[in-house]
Amino acid sequence: MAPVAILEKSSEQETFDPLRFGLKIPKNTEARLVKAGIDPNHYPTRPAKPDYLDEVYAVRNEFREYVDPGSRADPEKKALLGAATKVIHLTRHIGTEIHGVQLAQLTDQQKDELGLLIAERSVVFFRDQEISPEQQLKLGEWYGEVEVHPQVPQVPGAPGVTVIWPDLQIKEGRKANFRQPGGASVWHTDLVHEAQPAGVTHLHNDTVPEYGGDTLWSSGYSAYDKLSPAFRQFLDGKTAVYRSAHQYLDRNNPKAGPKYLEREHPLVRVHPATGWKSLWVNRAMTSRIVGLDKAESDVILEYLYNVYERNVDIQVRFKWTAGTSALWDNRITQHIASWDYEGNEERHGTRVTSLAEKPFFDANAPSRRQALGLDIAP
């Protein structure tokens, strides 16, 4: 079982009183919490936020061995798919929906096979799930070290299970409106600044709007395949600087203002379970390509962002229903949340993100289309 990654200050927690914020926990959420033995009147908690960059750099800064569960799975996934009542591939490039399987009841073999399916299809959906936050955490630990986010409320007693509750985020100062939805309403990939960034993320939404509030994912495998062979060759082996979503003070120069945590990773990475190359950039958190002038880097990155964002044929748009789980791989995707419901209806979910390997590049690795025999020269 992988450990939970906790910041040094995480023992210092603040407990929220929803009533103090004028909030009412949604009925579906309250029922789920009570069933799991969690007191809704003391929900959620927040780990103490680190103040300085050196504190954050020191967390998980040592290399950790990582074996992707999907790499040891049965390629045919007989245990997982054989238990399903229906398997629906939502597009040719990305997204699969599984019916008749409960995530909380998966065997170890099925967990490995699910890891491989996520690695191949990028995001996998399960509706009508009965899963507690603690069970969600246990499943996340199978796929890697679970990250405890220093900026996001947590489920009490389940460090690493973060609370996605837009009403609370708005009360705490997040500004969101029709013209500027902000937050997750920009194409992004989670935790790219980590020394060993995010692998699988599991978001379970127990409360969703009647309509609207969809989430979209875009395929990094297919974004890479959209590039010309000459452009792929130019990008292969290059690295970029990736920054954190939040800023922290420099302890030695606090008057300089907050700064982002930054780390350097391959611009094109290879997934350890599939062996396929993926374009790994995102508009929100990729700062620059190493070795290029800023003007050159900006032009190339803007083009690469657009490959992800504007090619609808490599994207999937998912309509949530209450009790649905989505598990996606941050190594091979970007995602974005639609704010079209404008916060006018209740929404609540819990999320677990498992950290994976140190990103690597292999010049001999194929692209997805090459591996599947789909790469036909123009």
Active site members = 188, 190, 335, 351
- Other beta carbons within 10 Å of 109: 15
Half-sphere CA count of 357, side-chain side, radius 13 A: 17
Q: Hey, CA dihedral for 207, 164, 66, 4, is it positive or negative?
A: negative
SS3 of residue 291 by DSSP: coil
Contact in structure between 151 and 44 (CB atoms under 8 Å):
no
Q: What is the 3-state secondary structure (H, E, C) of 116-159?
A: HHHHHHCEEEECCCCCCHHHHHHHHHHCCEEECCCCCCEECCEE
Phi, then psi, of 254 in degrees rounded to 5 = -65, -25
> Exposed e or buried b for every residue in 47-64, given b needs 16+ CB within 10 A?
beebeebebbbebbeeeb
Strands (E), 249-339: 259-266, 268-270, 277-279, 286-289, 315-318, 324-329, 333-337
Listed residue (35, 8, 71, 331) closest to 206, CA to CA: 35
Contact in structure between 223 and 367 (CB atoms under 8 Å):
no
Rounded distance between C-alpha atoms, residue 317 and residue 333, angstroms: 13
Tokens representing 356 are 């994976």
Q: What is the 3-state secondary structure (H, E, C) of 76-112?
A: CCHHHHHHCCEEEECCCCCCEEEECCCHHHCCHHHHH
Residues 6+ apart with CB under 8 A from 378: none
Tokens representing 202 are 């599991």
Name the pairing type of β-strands 4-5 and 145-147.
Answer: parallel
Radius of gyration of the chain (CA): 20
